[in-house]
Amino acid sequence: MKLLLIGAGGREHAIAWKLAKNEKVEKIYVAPGNGGTALENKCENINITDIDELVSFAKENDIYLTVVGPEEPLINGIVDKFKKASLKIFGPEQKAAMLEGSKSFSKEFMQKYGVKTAGYKEFYDHLKALEYLNQSEYPLVVKADGLAAGKGVSICFTKKEAEDAIYSFMVDDIFNGAGKKIIIEDFLEGIEASIISIVDGNTIVPFISAKDHKQIFDGGKGPNTGGMGVIAPNPFVTEEVLKDFNDNILIPTLTGIKEERFDYRGIIFFGIMITKRGVELLEYNVRMGDPETQSLLSLMESDLLDLIEASLENRLESFPIEWTNGTCVNVVLASKGYPGDYEKGKIITINEEVKNNVFVAGGKIQDGDLVTSGGRVLSVVGIAETPELAKKEAYNKIQSVKFEGMYYRNDIGEI
């Protein structure tokens, strides 16, 4: 069978690598893909991003199944268009994808169905938002309502910081319309965790938990990034935390999906905060995370294509997901200067013995070489029985990867 995979990041390289393991898969077209998917077994990149053109490609090339990696095409209705054309596709419909596409939509959904989350107010008018700051407690969180490439959240410790965030989002319009509407949310203090799950409309099955490391520098210091590394399972997600999550977040979310009659066969990502008051939901994503995916799919023993088909056929309740016992530590190697300005076009060398443990994000093929093309260049994963050994394994493998200006944190996986 032939598959079509939408996306261009490290997440998509990991998905392509995992799907290619299925013997029934003959070919995976990746649109548009990256330097990692260009070199991956059974894969071929195609330079198409327009949804209507992707529908035509799937029809003309007898694509058995399309898998959507990033959020943007989901929010733009790719699933609806593929289904209208009677094409099999994995992901939520556009209406359900607004759980990520609009912060106010998702908060209203949480409130309506009793999902435990922080209090909030929404604003269309920057003057009213500024006025609200006079009665607020700090820190607080200012969020752009729409998609802002992972940068639309500002934690504000003072009124001045909150004012600056409101002006940037709503007046200066730094997110090209995504911040014209904002929400101001109570700050939650605690430990973050990622719980990526798969949905078939009737059942939600959580994957192993993960902990992302967002800041650029060791010790969780410096500006936020798209993610500098992951440990999975998350050591702070205990059985008690999982029960709290299940009772106060997962079950009411599933109730909401059913009540709203969402056509939801895809991934739902719960970004949670483990606080002194219990587990609270920070946000929904409607796709796998990056770099969480690279860690989780490395630990997943079950076949990913079989799991996706179980979701599409409403069989998740009777599909046990098998996992490797142990821990995965994933370290992101970034370009010097990231998340600020950085140079591109640096040649990447990866020793053969670690290629199955390296997932490319910001890399492309240029004149026959794999070269850097993004801030987060690639992920290196290590798997072992304990977090300490998995960390050692990952950092040992990094010695087999080289490019000029390579930067990474040294504390991924430390608790």
Over residues 366-393, the mean pLDDT reads: 97
User: 323 pLDDT band (50/70/90 cuts)?
Assistant: very high
User: 152 pLDDT band (50/70/90 cuts)?
Assistant: confident
What would the pLDDT profile of 61-112 be if each residue is shown by its tens digit? 999 999 999 999 999 999 999 999 999 999 999 999 999 999 999 999 999 9
* HSE, side-chain direction, 13 A CA sphere, residue 319: 24
What would the pLDDT profile of 253-305 be if each residue is shown by its tens digit? 999 999 999 999 999 999 999 999 999 999 999 999 999 999 999 999 999 99
User: 351 pLDDT band (50/70/90 cuts)?
Assistant: very high
The pLDDT of residue 151 is above 90? no
Which of 350, 354, 304 shows the shortest CA–CA distance to 15?
304
User: 415 pLDDT band (50/70/90 cuts)?
Assistant: confident
User: 309 pLDDT band (50/70/90 cuts)?
Assistant: very high
- Inter-residue contact 393 to 382 (CB < 8 Å): yes
pLDDT for 33 equals 98
pLDDT for 148 equals 81
Which of 46, 41, 61, 42 shows the shortest CA–CA distance to 8?
46
Q: At what angle do helices 292-299 and 10-19 cross, to 10 degrees?
A: 20
The pLDDT of residue 150 is above 80? no
What would the pLDDT profile of 176-187 be if each residue is shown by its tens digit? 999 999 999 999
Over residues 121-126, the mean pLDDT reads: 95
Which of 65, 55, 68, 66 shows the shortest CA–CA distance to 11?
68
Going from the N-terminus, what domains does the chain have, and what CATH number goes with each? 2-93 (3.40.50.20), 125-180 (3.30.1490.20), 196-318 (3.30.470.20), 327-408 (3.90.600.10)
Distances from the Cα of 357 to the Cα of 68, 105, 107, 223, 397, angstroms: 23, 38, 37, 27, 8
pLDDT for 149 equals 73
Segment 134-141 long-range contacts (CB within 8 Å, at least 24 positions apart)? 134/159, 136/162, 136/184, 137/186, 138/162, 138/187, 139/187, 140/184, 140/185, 140/186, 140/187, 141/184, 141/185, 141/186, 141/187
Range list of β-strands (E), 56-186: 65-68, 89-92, 120-123, 140-144, 153-156, 182-186
pTM for the model stands at 0.95
233 preceded by cis ω (within 30°)?
yes
User: 135 pLDDT band (50/70/90 cuts)?
Assistant: very high
Over residues 121-139, the mean pLDDT reads: 95
**pLDDT-above-70 percentage for the chain:** 100
The pLDDT of residue 141 is above 80? yes
pLDDT for 147 equals 86
What would the pLDDT profile of 192-243 be if each residue is shown by its tens digit? 999 999 999 999 999 999 999 999 999 999 988 989 999 999 999 999 999 9
